[in-house]
Amino acid sequence: MNRILIVEDEGTIARLIEVSLKRAGYACTVAHDGVAAADLIEAQDFDLALLDIMLPGLDGYELLEYLQPMGTPVIFITAKGSTRDRVRGLSLGADDYLVKPFEVEELLARVGAVLRRAGRGGQTLTAFGVTLDVVARQVTQNGSPVDLTPREFALLEQLMRNRGAALYRDVLYERVWGAELTDTRTLDLHIQRLRKKLGWQEQIETVYRVGYRLRREDDTPPARGK
């Protein structure tokens, strides 16, 4: 089930969006101001964010900056329909733009299209010939099943959901083990096992002083040192 963050300070509109998306089978989290939204973005990961632009606290443009390093797609939802605002949102990297008032059908069509483009449609994540089925909790590589422990599975899911982003060790640990990081060795060992099982020595990069990053398909290969 795709997880969607809705950030909208007008209660009736927030509720309309939430109800429509839930009915269509999405899991929704609602924030009514920019600061609450930023806290949620730090604590959880989302497949898509719907952002109002004019918000108390931080505005939609600032929230977009929070979301971009995580590779989370963004649709702006706003009353500002002028061409200038539209161009600004898109040039900053938003994936789409929806002007209030809008029809529910249009909202659903755009959400579906952006998720598909981002490779997050449905219940599977794919990267380098590996498919991870979030619901069936199965992983296959070029069609053959890969045997992973529950921790390895959760770790791989985090890397695939945040593909291209450098994930901090403590963030990864907290999301997979549900506890604060005290010893990085456990995490590093699990990464090593995952690399070995998938043959992903280069696909899972070690990011100096940060943690780990799953490469994107179109990344140029890392320069090889001696």
| Contacting positions for Ca ion (CB under 5 A) | 9, 52, 54
For Ca ion, give the closer residue by CB, 7 or 176: 7
Alpha-carbon distance of 125 to 142, in angstroms, equals: 13
**Residues in Cβ contact with 41 at an 8 Å cutoff, skipping those fewer than 6 apart:** 5, 49, 63, 66, 67, 70, 72
- Report which secondary-structure segment, H or E, holds 133: strand 130-133
Q: How far is the CB of 101 from Ca ion (least distance, A)?
A: 13
Choice between 54 and 207, CB closer to Ca ion = 54
Q: Cβ 9 to Ca ion, closest distance in Å?
A: 5
Of the candidates 83, 82, 47, 51, the one whose C-alpha atom is nearest the C-alpha of residue 65 is: 51
* Nearest distance in Å: CB 198, Ca ion: 44
Site of tokens 């070995």? 196
For residue 161, the minimal CB distance to Ca ion (Å) is: 28
Distance CA 11, CA 32 (A): 8
Least CB distance to Ca ion at residue 107 (A): 16
User: Whole-angstrom Cα distance, residue 166 to residue 174?
Assistant: 15
Minimal CA–CA distance to 194: which of 129, 161, 148, 158? 148
User: Which lies closer to Ca ion via its Cβ, residue 11 or residue 122?
Assistant: 11
Sheet holding 211-214, edge to edge: 167-168, 211-214, 204-207
Indicate the residue among 54 and 189 with the shorter CB distance to Ca ion. Answer: 54
Ranked by CB distance to Ca ion, the top (closest) residue is 54
Report d(CA 197, CA 153) in Å as an integer: 11
Continuous segment of H or E residues that includes residue 124: strand 124-127
Toward Ca ion, which CB reaches closer, 19 or 54? 54
Of residues 9 and 205, the one with the C-beta less far from Ca ion? 9
Q: Please report how close the Cβ of residue 95 comes to Ca ion at its closest, in angstroms.
A: 20
